[in-house]
Amino acid sequence: MHARYERALNERLLRALLPGGAFSFLVTERPVDDPFALDVQLRERNKIVFYHGMTRLLTVQLRIGVNGEVEARAHAATAYGESEGCKELYRALMKWWAIGEAAAFRAALRAYLPAAVAAADPSCYRNRQEGYWQNRLCLRYGKHWTPQDEWLIIDRECVISFNHVDEQKRFYERTRHAYQGVKDLLQNADKGAWGEPDGQAFGDELDLLAINRSGDLATIELKHGDNASGICWAPLQVGVYRDAFEAILSSVRPGIQELVRQKITLGLLPEAAGVRLDVGGLKRVEPIVAVAQPDARSSCWQKMGRVMTEMARAGIPQPVVPLRVARLAAGAGDLELAFMPALA
């Protein structure tokens, strides 16, 4: 099995993004008024992605050109090129840019991003549900992290990669089998309470990857308080991701560590964040369900407890670092984070 988590950039390309580098604006500038609207992340194959909640406004591919200099290609979904307020800016930006065109590239990008934010579907961010909170958490516990914080969030939309699709499919089928069985059992026993069995398997994309105070890797599944059904199934979902990362942790640990180091170098994480790599060495994995703006009166909490009881009854092993459920709210000038008592 050839599992990997290689989202760090090629070192030759990295230099163009460092302070003073021709393309440094890609990781330093956020040309919109909303401080949470844009979240920049590194991706496999030397890509930089601008997230606006649940949508990618822009992907920039870096490469070494035939002349030995760095080039950058801007790409985005065609929907942004069809939006009335964005299409001209889209056409001006979406091409390969030579390093000598960096000033023009920067100007085109700074014009496009606010227009793309305005054109984006409101359900991706402006409704202030999961996409909004994902951006906000990535920035608050990423770029604006402090050593007192519970989490250092190091990545989002986290997928373990394999050399072959079939290998990835087999790996996740084995990993999710027991968890899927719990969901199927509850739905088949009481369709009124749990919904009709839909055959929908848990996916392979974790919402947030973090390092906790103990230096453990934390797999965080994020839900909004309005998503009651999502909340009750979240222990199963995050269990799949926790088991997946723990099963191949020795293989992917170097890639995760290198990603963190590069993000510190680029200013996407603060310099002090490096201490989290040394605390526990990323040798364990903690599962977290994080609920933003939770509704204390919702029936989802009782149902979540029932799901966790059924997990134990099904013989799913309790992880060394047990599942925790976090509640998130917007406080006065900062986020409020509190952990619920154990549900099961």
Stretch among 126-135, 235-244, 282-291, 324-333 having the lowest mean pLDDT: 324-333
- What single string gives the DSSP state of each residue in 3-22? -B---SPPHHHHGGGSTTST
Looking at residue 341, what is its pLDDT? 84
**141-157: per-residue pLDDT in tens?**
999 999 999 999 999 99
**pLDDT (average), residues 315-334:** 93
**pLDDT (average), residues 322-327:** 97
Looking at residue 1, what is its pLDDT? 64
**136-193: per-residue pLDDT in tens?**
999 999 999 999 999 999 999 999 999 899 999 999 989 999 999 999 999 999 999 9
Distance CA 125, CA 156 (A): 15
**pLDDT (average), residues 275-290:** 94
The alpha carbon of residue 300 and the mean position of all alpha carbons in its chain are separated, in whole angstroms, by 24
Looking at residue 332, what is its pLDDT? 81
Is the predicted pLDDT of residue 84 greater than 90, yes or no? yes
Is the predicted pLDDT of residue 199 greater than 80, yes or no? no
- Map residue 151 onto helix, strand or coil: strand
Token pair in block for residue 153: 């969030």
Looking at residue 235, what is its pLDDT? 97
Looking at residue 200, what is its pLDDT? 80
**38-54: per-residue pLDDT in tens?**
999 999 999 999 999 99
Looking at residue 198, what is its pLDDT? 77
DSSP 8-state class, residue 42: E
Give kind and range of the element (H or E) at residue 59.
strand 55-64
Residue located via tokens 């990545």:
155
Q: What is the CA radius of gyration of the chain?
A: 21
Q: What percent of the chain has pLDDT over 90?
A: 91
Where does the pLDDT of residue 125 fall: very low under 50, low under 70, confident under 90, or very high at 90 and above? very high
Looking at residue 344, what is its pLDDT? 57
